Amino acid sequence: MNFQRSLYASGLKPFYRVGKEGKFKRVNGKISWNNGSDGLQINFEHQMSTRNEDELTYFSFVEPWGYEDSINYFSSYHEKIKKSPRMSEEIYFHRELLGYSKEMRYIELITITGKTENPK
């Protein structure tokens, strides 16, 4: 986590969301950090604003990037390549399903490379 010290010095702030369906937002206010005995320690204040006491608040050191984010990113990138004649000629993009995780999520092999011309 020591490399994250420089990120926080540059203005990065932790993220939070309320509930499982909430959207992650940056923590408001000032943060501080120091090297503690167990590594980097980050200090900040957060006021709980939820009206439901059973609803959990989640915190993350960096902006989360989940399974659906990855699926959507590679799907849109693949569509972008297919729609552009130039990109289609220059970029090889292939997705292959290798199996499923315990949560029944796709485990894919994604190959992105430049196309080479056939030798004559």
Tell me the pLDDT tens digit for each residue of 14-67: 999 888 888 899 998 888 888 778 888 888 988 887 677 788 889 988 888 888
Q: How far apart are CA 28 and CA 2, in angstroms?
A: 23
Tell me the pLDDT tens digit for each residue of 62-109: 888 888 899 999 999 999 999 999 999 999 999 999 999 999 999 999
